[in-house]
Structure 1
């Protein structure tokens, strides 16, 4: 028979004995030259350790309170969710949509679409009617402004016949010689024209230099006319001041009440009023 092996005791390093006076030498080492004798240098370290241990205990108590609060909230919230779920399963919702509700909604949508289409059609018809009315008004104004002056034509024809019957063959001057204006009068006339133009629409105030020049010529012609009353053909000075430009300027002046338009005698006359 084989001999049993003896049980070996694990090797252990023997504890090193602390030699007498080692703590004293550690306390008086060069790292802490001012440390107290004996174990006195442990007092500050133990005090700091005690403070940190108390802070740790306070934080752990706070974590425990937070955990308790979360547990209470979770329990209450879970109970509320459960109650809501049970309420949804056991309550009859009387206002829930039924097939008749969808049919009613479809009819209402069709009625709204028809009403919107009708309103759009009415708006377009009203816009077209207004556009036609503006066109008719503009055409009427243009026709009225450019209608032939029968009185002027008859007088001219009579004058021509009288001149031919006399046999003189000499041309007579219709109006007298226009008096020459002084520098002061020209300056005052320019100031008055600028004052009138300044209250007219923007296109006459400089956005279109040609139109402003035409407006100044029309105003000057009105002021120079006998009794400051003229007919539209008297202001036409081609090629710059054609009939369309004169008519446009006169319409602006009439709208601003700087010129009065009178057609009661059968002839369209424009009288200068000025700006008050």
Structure 2
């Protein structure tokens, strides 16, 4: 049996645009003969090869820059991680810190409840003392009436003397917890409008200003004389004058001497 004939790849036909066809074409009579046609093609090829080499070198430089940056950035990340693992942070809160904060919150809540209870007990005691004082005054009035009825003819002079007894000046009205809080807020609002020396530079001067303001607010008709506010030695006349001048300048108090007597009228903060 004879061996089969091996397959052979047929020769490819020369394309119409090949260099050989270009050199042999009649359309280009000035085409060089022999190997001369290779020179312009090789020159163009060399230019393109140089451009390719320049681009490849640029890509290589870019790759080297990226490699350098990656290495540096990776080193920085590694250093930061090692620093976080090896450095102590004493200011960071711990479990003991949260436990201490919880304990302080509980203590503050207990203290607030005790303060509310104490205020309620004090208010109840004030109400009880006021009721007892009212009962005592009622009993004393009844006793005086009975005594006067039994001794009308024999003690006329004593009754006339009793009728001329001077009434006591009404004292400062007592305030409950809510009224005290509102009063303190009102006084604080007024003091913030005054010069800096009354707002904390001199604690004694601030305390004197608070006393003067309370005296003006609690006065009948909210109009007082200078002597009504003087309470030596804690509140001398010089301090009262200084406080009143500051209040008049801020138009919180109005000074009036139209009646011949200097009166200070409370206006308040608008």
TM-score, length-scaled by structure 1: 0.38
Larger relative contact order (Cα-Cα within 8 Å, sequence gap ≥ 6): 1
TM-score, length-scaled by structure 2: 0.39
